[in-house]
Amino acid sequence: MASGAPRVPISMLLQDKSATTEDDEEPKKKSREDWRKAKELEEARKAGTAPAAVDEEGKDINPHIPQYISSAPWYYNTAGPTLKHQRPQDDRKQDFSGVDEWYKRGVDTSKVVTKFRKGACENCGAVTHKKKDCMERPRKVGAKYNGAKISYDEFVQPKIISDYDGKRDRWAGYDPANHREIVEEYQKIEQAKRELRAQKLKENPDLENEEEGEDDEDKYVDEVDMPGTKVDSKQRITVRNLRIREDTAKYLRNLDPNSAYYDPKTRSMRDNPNPQLNPEETDFAGENFVRYSGDIQKHAQAQLFAWEAHGKGVDVHVLAEPTKLELLQMEYEKKKDQFKDESKNTVLEKYGGEEHLQVPPRALLLAQTENYVEYSRFGKVIKGEDKPIIRSRYEEDVLVNNHTTVWGSFWKDGVWGYKCCESTIKNSYCVGESGKASGVVKPVDIMEPIAGPSRIGTEQQKGLATGKQFKQPPPSKEKDDESSSSSSSSSSSSSSSSSSSDSSSDSDSDQAERKKSKKSTKKRRKEKRRLKREQKKRAKKAEKEKVQDKLQLALLAEERHQKRAEQLLKMDERKRPYNSMFEVRAPTEEEMEAYQMKRRRDEDPMMQFTK
């Protein structure tokens, strides 16, 4: 007779035993302070301020794993944090099947049986199944009785135990040889299409040209291979789904870390990476700029109108009833304009002033002008003047007192001046390059009279009195030399006359010699000046020819560039070459002049008659 004592599970007995052993040693209870510290440590690990826990293998444990997963069962006897109980166990790995094991299909044709075997199927004679499981048509006389046409045995199926990944393998047991049948089927269909097309062309040869164009188009669409494109040969469309490698990534537009934020998850940059530039001139001005361009503002106004209408009792939705919303908005705008016109007419009837509103249209007021401008074939102005650019209300480029530059074009040592003569005195008279060469500028004030009995001084005084400007000749070294020679000659003559009064014949001969020497020095100086002028002319001529040669080369380069641009514009955009290795540099003066000469002026009315 069985005892009436209750049966206790072995796991509970083991748990009680472990508890008693722990109680025998020293019971450890967590205090409230220890529990609070453990909670703070867990929060710090989740926030990332404290290092993560490490298991016995040296691997970090994710602090965000739930407790019911991270806590190990009591029978593991773990001394610290671990996730070993969540990983595949070594003792169970050998029970799982391999990757190559799978259920074999078909029958085993390696064995040929001619005699019925005991325990085999009575219908077909195979050993691998019984008569009730036989899939063959029931025979009139079974193989058990006549022993004829005994079927092949099926493969003995292995017992497959799959692991986590094996249960979710989509291609488990797939035979790649089956794909060959699909390829052969499509090849047969293509062969039949070719034979049918050849038969049609044989009956009607006029269809050859029409089908040739269609074949080329289909061939191009099927064989197109561009990076970042998705081609559908049925619909014949090309869809961009990725950026090509030659495009600049958004986060490389501005490498400043304080620039626009780039979200790597959505690959979006909403703000403008270069806010200092004009958004219309840049390639990428932020996704918000694109988001508020086009018909987006119109759609936003329609959404706002739908909200206001719904608030006033009109049941309309911008997505569900777009046509109704459009008609309501058009009717509302029409009535709003009518109300404005009515209020305007009432004000005019009450106060008058309607005659001031009757003016010609703006097209007649601003489109025509009496200024005549004639352009050359290169875009330069031949007759008339271009439309002046109004910069400010002050006079500009006003030159006074023989200056070729304006006041303020020169700066030195904290003082403004004129660049042409480097004079730092305002309203002074320009002395040209001699003022720069001397180093000390001595300008002549316009209010001071120019002294001296010379012809140049009197002409300058007359010019200043009448408001004209005269160029003051630069002081030449020859005159200084002449004056010094004349003074030396006069001093020598005076000394000679005082020393010897009775030798008059000698003094006369000395004076004649001095005159000859003066004439010879004047001739030499004249020759030097002539040679200098000729040398300057030759240098100017050579420089002018050099500039013309550079300009001709720049014109030829500009023509080639324009022809290349026209060719690229005529090409299909999918066949255009990339231009990522183009060297970017500042254009030279000759290139700018060539561009101005070759550029098209749409405002020129005669431009359409010249090609």
Tens-place pLDDT, residues 292-308: 777 888 888 999 999 99
Going by pLDDT thresholds of 50, 70 and 90, the confidence category of residue 342 is very high
CB 405 within 8 A of CB 416: no
* Res 215: pLDDT: 52
- Residue 247 structure tokens: 């495009």
Widest CA span in the chain: 184
* Res 182: pLDDT: 92
Our separate counts of H helices and E strands in the chain read 17, 8
* Res 447: pLDDT: 38
Going by pLDDT thresholds of 50, 70 and 90, the confidence category of residue 239 is low
Alpha-carbon distance of 19 to 579, in angstroms, equals 78
Q: Residues 308-324: what's their mean pLDDT? A: 90
Alpha-carbon distance of 318 to 484, in angstroms, equals 100
At 362, give phi and psi (nearest 5°).
Answer: -65, -30
* Res 453: pLDDT: 38
Q: Mark out the alpha helices in 352-393 (DSSP H runs).
A: 362-366
CB 149 within 8 A of CB 170: no
Q: What letter does residue 277 receive in the DSSP assignment?
A: S
* Res 226: pLDDT: 52
Please tell me which residue, 595 or 503, carries the higher pLDDT value: 595
Q: Residues 452-468: what's their mean pLDDT? A: 41
Q: Mark out the alpha helices in 431-503 (DSSP H runs).
A: 433-438, 455-466, 477-499
Burial of 217: CB neighbours in 10 Å, binned 0-12, 13-18, 19+:
exposed
Alpha-carbon distance of 523 to 517, in angstroms, equals 10
Q: Is the pLDDT reported for residue 126 higher than 90?
A: yes
How many CA atoms lie less than 13 Å away from 331 in the CB half-sphere?
7
Contacts of 530-537 spanning 24+ positions with Cβ under 8 A: none
CB 374 within 8 A of CB 604: no
Q: What percentage of the chain reaches a pLDDT higher than 70?
A: 73
Handedness of CA 346, 351, 356, 362 (dihedral sign): negative
Q: Residues 346-351: what's their mean pLDDT? A: 91
Torsion of CA 161, 164, 165, 167, to 10 degrees: 50
- Tracing tokens 């106060």 back to the chain, one arrives at 351
pLDDT, tens digit, 9 for 90 and up, residues 132-151: 999 999 999 999 999 889 99
pLDDT, tens digit, 9 for 90 and up, residues 358-395: 877 666 676 666 777 888 888 778 887 766 666 677 77
Q: What percentage of the chain reaches a pLDDT higher than 90?
A: 19
Alpha-carbon distance of 611 to 596, in angstroms, equals 17
Q: Which of 77, 74, 67, 72 is nearest to 38 (CA)?
A: 67
At 251, give phi and psi (nearest 5°).
Answer: -75, -5
CB 253 within 8 A of CB 272: no
CB 226 within 8 A of CB 574: yes
Q: Is the pLDDT reported for residue 527 higher than 70?
A: yes
CB 446 within 8 A of CB 464: yes
* Res 188: pLDDT: 95
Going by pLDDT thresholds of 50, 70 and 90, the confidence category of residue 581 is low
At 208, give phi and psi (nearest 5°).
Answer: -70, -45
Span of 187-191, 295-299, 330-334, 584-588 with lowest mean pLDDT: 584-588
Please tell me which residue, 601 or 399, carries the higher pLDDT value: 399
- Residue 336 structure tokens: 């709003």
Alpha-carbon distance of 268 to 250, in angstroms, equals 8
CB neighbours of residue 416 within 10 Å = 12
Amino acid type, 49: T
- Residue 43 structure tokens: 């929060």
CB 124 within 8 A of CB 134: yes
Q: b/e string for 269-288 if b means 16 or more Cβ within 10 A?
A: beebbbeeeeeeeeebbbbe
Beta strands in 104-228 (DSSP E): 107-108, 153-154
pTM above 0.75, yes or no: no
- Residue 217 structure tokens: 């188009």
Across 21-25, 144-148, 231-235, 239-243, the highest mean pLDDT is recorded for 144-148
In DSSP terms, 411 is beta-bridged to 416
pLDDT, tens digit, 9 for 90 and up, residues 150-179: 999 999 888 888 888 888 988 888 888 889
Compute CA 203 distance to the chain's CA centroid, rounded to the nearest angstrom: 56
Q: Is the pLDDT reported for residue 328 higher than 90?
A: yes
Amino acid type, 240: R
Mean pLDDT of the chain: 77
Across 31-35, 109-113, 122-126, the highest mean pLDDT is recorded for 122-126
Handedness of CA 106, 109, 113, 119 (dihedral sign): negative
Q: Residue 196, SS3?
A: helix
DSSP β-ladder status, 153-154 and 229-232: unpaired
Q: Residues 555-574: what's their mean pLDDT? A: 87
- Residue 553 structure tokens: 């080369």
Q: Is the pLDDT reported for residue 252 higher than 70?
A: yes
Q: Residues 414-434: what's their mean pLDDT? A: 86
Q: Residue 216, SS3?
A: helix
- Residue 323 structure tokens: 């046509």
CB 547 within 8 A of CB 536: no
* Res 235: pLDDT: 52
CB 371 within 8 A of CB 385: yes
- Residue 314 structure tokens: 């009109």
**Terminal-residue alpha carbon distance, the chain:** 123
- Tracing tokens 């020819």 back to the chain, one arrives at 545
- Residue 549 structure tokens: 């040669």
* Res 371: pLDDT: 74
Burial of 431: CB neighbours in 10 Å, binned 0-12, 13-18, 19+:
buried
Q: Residues 443-470: what's their mean pLDDT? A: 40
Cβ-proximal residues to 325 (8 Å cutoff; 6+ apart), any chain: 302, 305, 306, 309, 316, 317, 318
Alpha-carbon distance of 232 to 226, in angstroms, equals 13
Span of 116-125, 240-249, 350-359, 596-605 with lowest mean pLDDT: 240-249
pLDDT, tens digit, 9 for 90 and up, residues 39-65: 999 999 988 889 999 988 888 999 999
